[in-house]
Amino acid sequence: MSGSGFASTPRPPYYAVIFSNQRQGPDDGYGETAQRMVELAATMPGFLGVESVRGEDGFGITVSYWESEEAIAAWRRHGEHAAARVRGREAWYAHFELRVARVERAYGGPARAGAE
């Protein structure tokens, strides 16, 4: 996400993991772990990019993009990611919804600065 919040994704089809979540409680390692998960995901085969926002009320949406269901499954099995998910369920999130979706078409606009 260097320099822009947008993920540079290829032509569809590819996959999106839509993670909607409501933070609760103190930071307690959350910020550091969240940053680490983005860095770690970016090293995984099939990772295409991530877009993430959190509002002042603690509600957040993170969408990560992947080449395939297999790539998502491998990321899910990663030990450090699995451990972070446990802490998320136990402490950091009041609630979350996770949806896995196949991106079928995509377009953008106006022209991205520095691109096209």
- Binding residues (CB under 8 A) for a second copy: these are 4-7, 9, 12, 16, 18, 20, 22, 51-57, 59-61, 63, 89, 93-113
Nearer to a second copy, 12 or 45 (CB): 12
Burial of 100 (0-12, 13-18, 19+ CB in 10 A): middle
CB of 68 to a second copy, least distance (A): 12
> Pick from 69, 76, 75: which is nearest to 102 by CA?
69
Least distance (Å) from a second copy to the CB of residue 12? 8
Q: Give CA 22 to chain center in angstroms.
A: 14
The least distance separating a second copy from the CB of residue 36, rounded to whole angstroms, comes to 20
Q: Are 3 and 44 in contact, with CB atoms under 8 Å apart?
A: no
Please report how close the Cβ of residue 108 comes to a second copy at its closest, in angstroms: 4
> Which amino acid is it at 26?
P
46 or 60: CB nearest a second copy: 60
